[in-house]
Structure 1
């Protein structure tokens, strides 16, 4: 059965000149693996120096979207493909055009910006909605909103409807992939249909056009002038950065797969033996913190300076606060109030003391 399925997908790809389902799924997975890797890198930087790099954690979605926009626009303009599609030797072909368009010519203006909108804006909105749903569900579980709040019904409606909307969204993509496997559609994703393009493999003519463009740029008279040399230098630097990024992504994906294997169930005994070390000391405070920065009594919240209620520990630093104080502070600043370590709402751990 597996051999029949592989033969079916390979035959469809060869007969129509389109990528196989394995290639399109691989390129979709590539960009979804880049975001967590960049997020982890930002987290390491913020933990090393929260005062300097704290903005990276607070504005990560916006910064990543801007960098992704510059990267994808560069590849769409020069290769008629996104970064991950070009990485796997594919290009975007406008639908409804009789003439064959070389990848080096780029996409038509309307298709170009519609593709950018589908590549950049849709994932950004999806991430924001997922985080909004997680935050509202957390607030609803702990009754952060007062019952008389005018937004209570809207919150409830969103919390009830969003899981079904998300299920329909994922099912929509799954349906397109199934239809693509059996050759019923030329789009493996509904976003490609909205953008008005389909995926195809790079041809020999496309590769030749890339080489001719690079060689013509190096032989042009403008390249001998100062401005031409500067343009050539920045172009080569950008190309080198793109190649380095491609290599780095490959290495990063391998590293993520290694971490996934390392923390799998069969390696838990090895991890426990290596991690059976003494408890580390409390985190080092900033120089701006003095001995009077923390309350003298252990049952006093460092934020409100009152006896703690609903004791809650912050997993990133270990300090204990009132739940409402810690929740509001982490939600607003996304860091520990004492140490400045980057923190999120899921790092809050409620403490329950046994009854006397």
Structure 2
């Protein structure tokens, strides 16, 4: 009875799903925005670990974890949750986080999005992935399905938490009954970090793919050199109409490169892009999003 009463009391003091979604969006914004900043300044971990094993990794996950742990330690909430005035408490007792829950919460907040983002990035680039990576990606799909179910139960006031992660940690989100007690320096540091949230949003907007193409403009395609000006040996090796510039065979599964306008075989252009990251003809940088499949009618 006491446990049910505590659950009902917490449910009356928890935020709406829209506030929770906004807090999660802000939390998910930290890592990509920091990655763009660190990539711009070239800040990465790069050292020899053992033998031929070399560590080349970014600093963004580490700094993201430290930031989340700082907020969980000082305010019992993540960066995004603190920004929207939310607080994590124990589902059964309503008490604040223990040291173990603070550590686990910061780890889950950082590790799960990082691993999923890496797996999806490798899959989008059609890189060779091991079977366990495929199973792990399927596990993330199952996790999102379970989270959607928890969200529905949360909306109808049947569950105390909106996520299976919160349920596993026995936590829920609520409005704090009183403002957090913290010294002046801690308050100033955390307030400055919250102000930087707007800067992080701006960085993410600026570097988004759609906006980057609108602001940066399109590359000017080079004009083709007349064949009569080319040496004979070069003219003999040039692809004929309908041939792929890479394999010099009739194009199979025609795919156009939107950066340069040339048409290649799908396998040829994807293989070249993975190895060189550029168009085989113009050498302009390209990604998988720059490849357009051509369907003949």
TM-score (structure 2 length as normaliser): 0.63
1:244 maps onto 2:195 in alignment: yes
Deviation at 1:194, TM superposition (A): 2.2
Q: 1:1-356, aligned counterparts within 5 Å?
A: 16-32=12-28, 62-97=58-93, 100-101=95-96, 107-134=97-124, 168-206=142-180, 209-210=181-182, 213-214=183-184, 239=190, 241-249=192-200, 281-282=220-221, 298-299=238-239, 307=248, 309-310=250-251, 312-319=255-262, 321=264, 323-336=266-279, 338-339=282-283, 341=285, 343-350=286-293
Alpha-carbon RMSD: 5.1
Aligned counterparts of 2:193 and 2:56: Cα–Cα separation in 1 = 21
Aligned residues of 2:29 and 2:201 also touching (Cα < 8 A): no
Aligned counterparts of 1:180 and 1:186: Cα–Cα separation in 2 = 6
Deviation digits for residues 218-277 of structure 1, max 9, x if unmatched?
A: xxxxxxxxxxxxxxxxx96x5575133223246678989xx89xxxxxxxxxx9xxxxx9
Q: 1:31 to 1:340 in 2, by over 3 A?
A: farther
Aligned residues of 1:75 and 1:83 also touching (Cα < 8 A): yes
More helix by percentage: 1
Aligned counterparts of 2:196 and 2:144: Cα–Cα separation in 1 = 29
Deviation at 1:315, TM superposition (A): 2.5
Deviation at 1:31, TM superposition (A): 3.4
Deviation at 1:108, TM superposition (A): 2.5
Partner of 1:274: none
Aligned counterparts of 1:36 and 1:335: Cα–Cα separation in 2 = 23
More strand by percentage: 2
Aligned residues of 1:13 and 1:20 also touching (Cα < 8 A): no
Deviation at 1:125, TM superposition (A): 2.4
Aligned residues of 1:13 and 1:19 also touching (Cα < 8 A): no
Aligned counterparts of 1:309 and 1:240: Cα–Cα separation in 2 = 62
Aligned counterparts of 2:262 and 2:137: Cα–Cα separation in 1 = 34
TM-score (structure 1 length as normaliser): 0.54
Q: 1:132 to 1:109 in 2, by over 3 A?
A: same
Report the count of equivalent residues: 260
Aligned residues of 2:91 and 2:171 also touching (Cα < 8 A): yes
